[in-house]
Amino acid sequence: MASPLSLSLLCHHPIFFFCFSLLFSTLLLPSFPHAVASQCKNRPIIFNFGDSNSDTGGLASGLGFPINLPNGRSFFRRPTGRLSDGRLLIDFLCQSLNASYLSPYLDSLGGSKFTNGANFAVVGSSTLPKYVPFSLNIQVMQFLHFKARSLELVNAGSRNLINEEGFRNALYIIDIGQNDIADSFDKNLSYVQVTKRIPSIITEIKNAVKTLYNQGGRKFWIHNTGPLGCLPQKLWLVQKKDLDPHGCLSSYNSAALLFNEVLRRLCQELRSELADSTIVYVDIYAIKYDLIANSSKYGFSSPLMACCGSGGPPYNYNIRVTCGQPGYQVCNEGSRFLNWDGIHYTEAANSIIASRVLSTAYSSPRTTFDFFCRS
């Protein structure tokens, strides 16, 4: 059995050395209150690269790491490898296209033919060090193998696999960087030392986009990182707290904002440099911070407290007894909590985050999510 520390450490550390695919059904639409009618004319194909914010089972299937109940309790009614009580942002985005949920690339038993793309995101992933599984660089290398093998099979006569046109018209989502910044603070680096690492992180994201572009990808959807200083885990771990008016760690959030600004400028640079590309930058930080700062307006209580953890108020987090480990306590199903386990968000929060993303109000340039499959 995994130790009480292990899963928590995976979620904010560079990953150690060394989903199941569900068909979308219109029956699911009522549970997504902000469903948007998709204008897709072509089959939507998505390749996602990232960390636990979008891992739909990569850690569980790739390493056999146990992610048990109560994870998955509110929607899937069983653990699926997602670190939440239900669906993640990526699930809602797929659902908005009437598309199947993305299957983890590493899932050998899910039965997926990967006809709608693949999810390379794995819990704990970061950009650096670049050759440690499952860094962004490793995820891109996995994609290159996936593409080469798919085209080989297509050329040999296999049907229903993604062909060259499918790869060219696909959407490439990148949502990574949170663990790079969080791990830097966890190593007791100063704020100045943490921020000095940001250019190296951005370089890895730039390299990933360019590699995918050179492989024919032209449509990119890039999320910035959220307010790290508002995570119950960080608030519990940090002894000397420099809190903002909403109770979040100012230094952590300042570092996240600086990372986001450099990432925004990178997207601007790449739009000019990569001909015929569409690169959409999405301000996830603004969406999540608004949820926390105005939680009561959205019907949430205790925005800095985990639903599932231990210790009770103010954070209900203890790294020795994390969600799912012996001794944990969990809020009642249906309770309005933003944070699920001290690090990740609840399905209720993810639903609102998705509706904000789909609104285009937080995207630059303002672009509908289905832009890549409309023609």
Catalytic entry in 74, 184, 344, 351 = 344
As a whole number, mean pLDDT of residues 22-44 equals 57
- 344 catalytic per annotation: yes
Does residue 14 surpass a pLDDT of 50? no
Catalytic entry in 52, 54, 103, 251 = 52
Do 306 and 11 contact (CB within 8 A), yes or no?
no
- 183 catalytic per annotation: no
Q: pLDDT for 51-90, tens place per residue?
A: 999 999 999 999 999 999 999 999 999 999 999 999 999 9
The model's confidence at residue 15, banded by pLDDT at 50, 70 and 90, is: very low
Q: pLDDT for 319-334, tens place per residue?
A: 999 999 999 999 999 8
Does residue 354 surpass a pLDDT of 80? yes
SS3 of 89-118: the string is HHHHHHHHCCCCCCCECCCCCCCCCCCCEE
Please name each of the domains of the chain with its CATH number. Answer: 46-294+351-360 (3.40.50)
Top pLDDT among 30 and 365 is at 365
Does residue 20 surpass a pLDDT of 80? no
pLDDT at 313: 97
Give this prediction's pTM: 0.91
Burial bucket for residue 1 (CB in 10 Å: 0-12, 13-18, 19+): exposed
- 272 catalytic per annotation: no
Do 203 and 157 contact (CB within 8 A), yes or no?
no
d(CA 253, CA 106): 33
Catalytic entry in 51, 91, 175, 341 = 341
Top pLDDT among 359 and 16 is at 359
pLDDT at 112: 82
